[in-house]
A and B are shown apart, each in its own frame.
Chain A
Amino acid sequence: MTAMRHIEINRRQVMVGAAGLTFALASGLRFAQGQAARSATLSPWVTIATDDTVAIMSPAAEMGQGSLTSLPLILAEELDADWSKVRVIVAPPNDDLYKNPSFGFMYTAGSNAVTSYFKELRLFGAQVRKVLLANAAKHWNVPVAELSTEPNVVIHARSGRRLSYGEVAAFAEIPAKAPDVAEDELKRPAAFRLIGRDVMRVDLPGKVDGTAPYAINVQVPGMLYGAILRAPVEGAGPDMIDDGKAKAIAGVVRIVALPYGVGVVAQTPYAAFEAKNALNVTWARTGKAWGFNSEEALIAFAAAARDL
């Protein structure tokens, strides 16, 4: 359900074609949820719910390097979000919105996600904070310059009034264009509340209780499973395939000859593996390495090394 909702939002983001702040996004979210506004989508990156939850998109693949934590945390820093109220959402595939600035598309590689996204995520966070401040200023009818923030709260110190981000989200009007943020409006490192602190990685609890999602867990209705018996040598392929035993295994749907091996399609993963192991294939002895014997090669190399 969650994934569907984000795909729905994503289509609307493509329609408006903007990386900034839009009303279309907020109404899109309302439409997708099929209910009255419970949250304000303040940008393609941030949705603040009236219960004060701050949902932040994470644009890079989590592979254990911590991007699911570090990238949203950079945005949360400039937004001045309360990290305990942040929910991280894996961004849907959309290069226009979530591209890695170093590559121009969504790409996680080269240990560069934090350095590449750093400036933009700070800017996006600062923009959303500015929208919240502008809305609070209008609500209280005070100059925006008199307002400040603490984590998830807008404060008017002169009158002692406070509005949580969730309270602002309930009435926030979102400008058609994202506000400009000058470099010197960003936080100075001394004011950082999150960057540089030891924060629990978002992905870890699921990796300790077994619930972390992996591609192998994906199941769709009517899904079949495949396994490939590969040629023993690169460059070789099947010459003759005896698949009599493999086909007799319950759940096997099809045996497929491939240029580099033999594929099995089955109703369960185990039937696919079992059938793969039951194949009897005669390989065409093509490929340079046919006849190579690693034991003999090791002896030959060792002998050559003694002569150096």
Chain B
Amino acid sequence: MAIDFNVNGKAARSEAPPHTPLLWVIREELKLTGTRFGCGTGLCGACMVHIDGKRTFACQTSVSDVAGRAVTTIEGLSENSSHPVQRAWLAERVPQCGYCQSGQIMSAADLLAHNPKPSREQIVEHMSTNICRCGTYPRIVRAIERAAQEG
């Protein structure tokens, strides 16, 4: 019944009902609260994580779907916020309230992993999965451009 998977390089196991969204397993069982609950319906992107290196809405992914797979959350993206996206996020002072920013960063990291030199249009298109109620979008775009440049 237990589901075995990997989170941030470590073995994880959940006894939750198989259809339980990965989001709640990450937050409530694994206590990794950097991944946020926003809408619960795959519209806002606050819950974005990487599964086998590809961004995914954790609220739309059943825990049974990640059996045997590797999940990366904001906590596992880098040591000491050393990922180029995180460094750019600090340099551009992107966050305001910050609630959505884990998801924004995970989406941005996914973009640069697959497209290291995106155009502005590609950035805007890719990041359209993530909503920021504070409206930090201009700084998000600047930070991604900076991360792409500084690598």
Contact = CB atoms under 8 A, between A and B. Distances in A.
A200 B33 CA distance: 24
Given A64-B95, A210-B75, A250 B33 contact: no
Interface string A211-251: 11010110000000000000000000000000000000010
Contacts of A204: 90, 93, 95, 98
Interface stretch (A30-38, A266-274, A295-303): A266-274
Interface string B34-71: 11110010000000000000000000000000000000
A207 B102 CA distance: 7
A216 B75 CA distance: 17
Interface residues of B, number: 33
A203 interface: yes
Nearest to A200: B90
Interface string A247-287: 00010000000000000000011100100000000000000
A201 interface: yes
B111 interface: no
B15 to A, nearest CB: 11
Contacts of B28: 268-270
Contacts of A273: 40
Given A203-B98, A205-B81, A210 B73 contact: yes
Contact of B35 (A210, A268, A270): A210
A135 B134 CA distance: 47
Interface in A187-213: 200-201, 203-212
Nearest to B85: A208
Contacts of B98: 64, 203-204, 206-207, 212
A201 B93 contact: yes
B20 interface: yes
A250 B15 CA distance: 13
A209 B21 contact: no
Contacts of A205: 81, 90
A90 to B, nearest CB: 15
Is the interface on chain A under 10, 10 to 19, 20 to 34, or 35 or more residues?
A: 20 to 34
B95 A209 contact: no
Contacts of A269: 24, 27-28, 37
A207 B97 CA distance: 8
A268 B16 CA distance: 10
A3 interface: no
B115 interface: no
B86 interface: yes
B96 to A, nearest CB: 3
Contacts of B17: 250
B99 to A, nearest CB: 6
A207 B89 CA distance: 10
A269 to B, nearest CB: 6
Contacts of B24: 268-270
B105 interface: yes
Contact of B90 (A65, A208, A217): A208
A63 B99 CA distance: 10
B74 interface: yes
Given A204-B95, A250-B17, A210 B33 contact: yes
B107 interface: no
Interface string A33-75: 0000000000000000000000000000001110000000000
Contacts of B86: 208-209
B102 A210 contact: yes
B101 interface: yes
A208 B95 contact: yes
Contacts of B90: 200, 204-205, 208
Contacts of B16: 270
A209 B75 contact: yes
A203 B96 CA distance: 9
A108 to B, nearest CB: 13
**What 10 pairs across the A-B complex have the smallest Cβ distances?**
A210-B34, A207-B98, A64-B96, A210-B74, A64-B97, A207-B95, A270-B24, A217-B33, A209-B81, A210-B102
Given A204-B93, A214-B33, 6 more contacts: A63-B97, A200-B90, A205-B81, A210-B32, A268-B24, A273-B40
Interface of A: 63-65, 200-201, 203-212, 214, 216-217, 250, 268-270, 273
